[in-house]
Protein backbone atom coordinates (compact mmCIF):
# COMPACT_ATOMS: atom_id res chain seq x y z
CA UNK A 1 0.00 0.00 0.00
CA UNK A 2 2.81 2.42 0.86
CA UNK A 3 4.49 1.83 -2.52
CA UNK A 4 1.18 2.45 -4.35
CA UNK A 5 0.57 5.66 -2.44
CA UNK A 6 4.09 6.90 -3.19
CA UNK A 7 3.67 6.12 -6.90
CA UNK A 8 0.34 7.96 -7.01
CA UNK A 9 1.90 10.99 -5.34
CA UNK A 10 4.73 11.03 -7.88
CA UNK A 11 2.29 10.88 -10.77
CA UNK A 12 0.33 13.80 -9.35
CA UNK A 13 3.51 15.86 -9.07
CA UNK A 14 4.52 15.20 -12.66
CA UNK A 15 1.05 15.76 -14.12
CA UNK A 16 0.82 19.16 -15.96
CA UNK A 17 -2.66 19.67 -14.52
CA UNK A 18 -1.28 19.33 -11.00
CA UNK A 19 1.74 21.60 -11.45
CA UNK A 20 0.31 24.40 -9.30
CA UNK A 21 -0.80 22.02 -6.58
CA UNK A 22 2.71 20.60 -6.46
CA UNK A 23 4.20 24.07 -5.95
CA UNK A 24 6.11 24.10 -9.23
CA UNK A 25 7.58 27.06 -11.06
CA UNK A 26 8.13 27.20 -14.80
CA UNK A 27 11.49 28.68 -15.76
CA UNK A 28 13.23 29.32 -19.08
CA UNK A 29 16.75 28.05 -19.43
CA UNK A 30 19.37 28.64 -22.09
CA UNK A 31 20.85 25.29 -22.95
CA UNK A 32 24.12 24.96 -24.91
CA UNK A 33 24.11 23.13 -28.23
CA UNK A 34 27.43 21.50 -28.97
CA UNK A 35 29.02 22.02 -32.42
CA UNK A 36 28.17 19.29 -34.91
CA UNK A 37 31.86 19.00 -35.76
CA UNK A 38 34.19 17.65 -33.10
CA UNK A 39 36.45 20.72 -33.05
CA UNK A 40 38.12 22.80 -30.35
CA UNK A 41 37.09 25.99 -32.15
CA UNK A 42 40.65 27.17 -32.82
CA UNK A 43 41.55 25.03 -35.85
CA UNK A 44 42.90 26.28 -39.15
CA UNK A 45 40.12 25.86 -41.71
CA UNK A 46 40.10 26.29 -45.49
CA UNK A 47 37.20 26.36 -47.96
CA UNK A 48 37.81 24.33 -51.10
CA UNK A 49 35.62 24.81 -54.21
CA UNK A 50 31.99 23.70 -54.03
CA UNK A 51 30.24 21.98 -56.91
CA UNK A 52 27.63 24.25 -58.54
CA UNK A 53 24.49 22.21 -59.27
CA UNK A 54 23.19 24.81 -61.77
CA UNK A 55 26.24 24.20 -63.96
CA UNK A 56 25.91 20.42 -63.79
CA UNK A 57 22.39 20.21 -65.23
CA UNK A 58 20.25 21.54 -68.08
CA UNK A 59 17.25 22.62 -66.04
CA UNK A 60 14.98 25.46 -67.21
CA UNK A 61 16.03 28.11 -64.67
CA UNK A 62 19.72 27.77 -65.49
CA UNK A 63 19.78 30.99 -67.51
CA UNK A 64 18.47 32.99 -64.56
CA UNK A 65 21.55 32.22 -62.46
CA UNK A 66 24.18 31.86 -65.19
CA UNK A 67 25.83 35.18 -64.24
CA UNK A 68 26.11 34.29 -60.55
CA UNK A 69 29.38 32.89 -59.23
CA UNK A 70 27.52 30.73 -56.74
CA UNK A 71 30.56 28.85 -55.47
CA UNK A 72 32.59 32.06 -55.04
CA UNK A 73 29.77 34.01 -53.37
CA UNK A 74 29.04 31.22 -50.92
CA UNK A 75 32.67 30.66 -49.94
CA UNK A 76 33.31 34.38 -49.47
CA UNK A 77 30.20 34.72 -47.31
CA UNK A 78 30.88 31.64 -45.16
CA UNK A 79 34.57 32.49 -44.79
CA UNK A 80 33.72 35.98 -43.49
CA UNK A 81 31.22 34.60 -40.99
CA UNK A 82 33.70 32.04 -39.68
CA UNK A 83 36.37 34.75 -39.32
CA UNK A 84 34.05 37.16 -37.51
CA UNK A 85 32.10 34.81 -35.28
CA UNK A 86 34.50 32.00 -34.40
CA UNK A 87 38.10 31.70 -33.20
CA UNK A 88 39.08 29.52 -36.13
CA UNK A 89 41.69 30.75 -38.60
CA UNK A 90 40.54 30.82 -42.22
CA UNK A 91 43.38 29.73 -44.53
CA UNK A 92 43.29 30.98 -48.13
CA UNK A 93 42.58 28.27 -50.66
CA UNK A 94 44.82 28.45 -53.76
CA UNK A 95 42.93 29.50 -56.90
CA UNK A 96 44.31 26.61 -58.94
CA UNK A 97 42.70 23.87 -56.82
CA UNK A 98 40.40 21.65 -58.88
CA UNK A 99 38.03 19.12 -57.38
CA UNK A 100 38.73 15.49 -58.31
CA UNK A 101 35.11 14.74 -59.23
CA UNK A 102 31.77 16.36 -60.12
CA UNK A 103 29.87 13.83 -58.01
CA UNK A 104 29.22 14.47 -54.33
CA UNK A 105 29.63 10.85 -53.29
CA UNK A 106 33.01 10.59 -55.01
CA UNK A 107 34.17 13.81 -53.31
CA UNK A 108 33.38 12.33 -49.93
CA UNK A 109 35.50 9.28 -50.73
CA UNK A 110 38.55 11.11 -52.19
CA UNK A 111 40.61 10.62 -49.02
CA UNK A 112 44.01 10.94 -50.66
CA UNK A 113 43.06 14.19 -52.44
CA UNK A 114 41.91 15.82 -49.19
CA UNK A 115 44.96 14.62 -47.26
CA UNK A 116 47.32 16.11 -49.86
CA UNK A 117 45.32 19.35 -50.05
CA UNK A 118 45.29 19.70 -46.27
CA UNK A 119 49.08 19.26 -46.21
CA UNK A 120 49.51 21.77 -49.03
CA UNK A 121 47.47 24.59 -47.47
CA UNK A 122 48.27 23.77 -43.83
CA UNK A 123 44.65 23.40 -42.74
CA UNK A 124 43.31 21.01 -40.11
CA UNK A 125 39.76 21.18 -41.47
CA UNK A 126 38.69 21.42 -45.12
CA UNK A 127 35.20 22.23 -46.38
CA UNK A 128 33.65 21.45 -49.75
CA UNK A 129 30.34 20.16 -51.05
CA UNK A 130 27.52 21.12 -53.40
CA UNK A 131 25.65 24.43 -53.72
CA UNK A 132 22.36 24.93 -55.54
CA UNK A 133 20.28 28.06 -56.14
CA UNK A 134 16.91 28.01 -57.87
CA UNK A 135 14.84 30.93 -59.13
CA UNK A 136 11.27 29.91 -59.91
CA UNK A 137 8.17 31.73 -61.11
CA UNK A 138 5.56 31.36 -58.36
CA UNK A 139 2.95 33.57 -60.02
CA UNK A 140 -0.60 32.30 -60.09
CA UNK A 141 -4.18 32.79 -58.99
CA UNK A 142 -4.86 32.93 -55.27
CA UNK A 143 -8.08 33.15 -53.30
CA UNK A 144 -8.72 36.24 -51.22
CA UNK A 145 -11.73 37.42 -49.28
CA UNK A 146 -13.29 40.85 -49.60
CA UNK A 147 -16.26 42.71 -48.14
CA UNK A 148 -18.85 43.90 -50.64
CA UNK A 149 -19.66 47.62 -50.52
CA UNK A 150 -23.19 46.83 -51.71
CA UNK A 151 -24.40 44.47 -48.99
CA UNK A 152 -21.53 44.34 -46.48
CA UNK A 153 -21.16 40.58 -46.87
CA UNK A 154 -17.86 38.74 -47.20
CA UNK A 155 -17.10 37.02 -50.53
CA UNK A 156 -14.15 35.23 -52.09
CA UNK A 157 -12.48 35.95 -55.41
CA UNK A 158 -9.52 34.76 -57.47
CA UNK A 159 -6.72 37.28 -58.02
CA UNK A 160 -3.53 36.92 -60.02
CA UNK A 161 -0.42 37.46 -57.88
CA UNK A 162 3.08 37.80 -59.34
CA UNK A 163 5.88 36.36 -57.22
CA UNK A 164 9.30 34.74 -57.51
CA UNK A 165 10.64 31.90 -55.39
CA UNK A 166 14.28 31.67 -54.29
CA UNK A 167 15.64 28.37 -52.97
CA UNK A 168 19.20 27.91 -51.76
CA UNK A 169 20.50 24.48 -50.80
CA UNK A 170 23.99 23.49 -49.76
CA UNK A 171 25.47 20.14 -48.78
CA UNK A 172 28.55 20.70 -46.65
CA UNK A 173 31.34 18.12 -46.50
CA UNK A 174 34.02 18.51 -43.83
CA UNK A 175 37.35 16.70 -44.02
CA UNK A 176 40.26 16.15 -41.68
CA UNK A 177 43.15 18.01 -43.34
CA UNK A 178 45.70 15.65 -41.79
CA UNK A 179 44.19 12.28 -42.74
CA UNK A 180 41.74 13.21 -45.52
CA UNK A 181 38.92 11.38 -43.74
CA UNK A 182 35.39 12.74 -44.06
CA UNK A 183 34.29 14.16 -40.72
CA UNK A 184 30.78 15.37 -41.45
CA UNK A 185 28.09 15.79 -44.09
CA UNK A 186 24.83 17.70 -43.82
CA UNK A 187 22.41 19.51 -46.13
CA UNK A 188 20.95 22.95 -45.34
CA UNK A 189 18.07 24.54 -47.24
CA UNK A 190 16.15 27.82 -47.21
CA UNK A 191 13.23 29.10 -49.30
CA UNK A 192 11.98 32.63 -49.84
CA UNK A 193 9.20 34.14 -51.95
CA UNK A 194 9.19 37.75 -53.17
CA UNK A 195 6.87 39.90 -55.25
CA UNK A 196 7.78 40.15 -58.92
CA UNK A 197 8.93 43.76 -58.47
CA UNK A 198 11.52 42.67 -55.90
CA UNK A 199 12.73 39.62 -57.80
CA UNK A 200 16.46 40.35 -57.85
CA UNK A 201 18.51 37.14 -57.93
CA UNK A 202 21.44 38.45 -55.87
CA UNK A 203 19.14 39.89 -53.19
CA UNK A 204 17.26 36.59 -53.04
CA UNK A 205 20.50 34.62 -52.70
CA UNK A 206 21.79 36.66 -49.76
CA UNK A 207 18.43 36.61 -47.99
CA UNK A 208 18.63 32.81 -48.16
CA UNK A 209 22.19 32.92 -46.78
CA UNK A 210 21.25 35.28 -43.92
CA UNK A 211 18.49 32.89 -42.86
CA UNK A 212 20.90 29.92 -42.80
CA UNK A 213 23.73 31.71 -41.01
CA UNK A 214 23.19 30.29 -37.52
CA UNK A 215 22.68 26.78 -38.84
CA UNK A 216 25.95 26.89 -40.75
CA UNK A 217 27.90 28.36 -37.84
CA UNK A 218 26.43 25.65 -35.63
CA UNK A 219 28.92 23.32 -37.30
CA UNK A 220 31.79 25.06 -35.52
CA UNK A 221 30.60 26.95 -32.43
CA UNK A 222 28.47 26.37 -29.35
CA UNK A 223 24.99 27.82 -29.71
CA UNK A 224 22.18 28.34 -27.22
CA UNK A 225 18.51 27.39 -27.32
CA UNK A 226 15.75 28.25 -24.89
CA UNK A 227 13.81 25.47 -23.16
CA UNK A 228 11.10 25.42 -20.49
CA UNK A 229 11.76 23.49 -17.30
CA UNK A 230 9.79 23.05 -14.08
CA UNK A 231 11.31 23.55 -10.63
CA UNK A 232 9.45 21.96 -7.73
CA UNK A 233 9.46 23.53 -4.29
**Per-residue pLDDT tens over the stretch 157-202:** 888 788 888 899 999 999 999 999 999 999 999 998 887 765 688 8
Confidence (pLDDT) at 197: 61
Confidence (pLDDT) at 14: 46
Confidence (pLDDT) at 61: 64
Give the integer Cα–Cα distance in Å for 192 and 77: 19
Q: Which CATH class is domain 36-217?
A: alpha beta
Q: Give the residues of the chain that fall short of pLDDT 70.
A: 1-23, 27-36, 59-64, 197-199, 221-233
Number of neighbouring beta carbons within 10 Å of residue 137: 14
Domain range summary for the chain, segments of one domain joined by +? 36-217
Confidence (pLDDT) at 97: 96
* Residue 218, C-beta contacts closer than 8 angstroms, at least 6 positions apart: 33, 35, 36
**CA 48 remoteness from chain centre:** 19
Amino acid sequence: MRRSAALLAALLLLSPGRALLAGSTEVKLKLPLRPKLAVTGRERISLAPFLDASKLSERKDRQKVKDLDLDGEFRRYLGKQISRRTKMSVVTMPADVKLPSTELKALGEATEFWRELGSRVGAEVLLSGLVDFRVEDKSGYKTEEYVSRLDGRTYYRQVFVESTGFTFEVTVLAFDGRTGAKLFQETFKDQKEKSRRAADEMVGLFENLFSMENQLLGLFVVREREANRYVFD
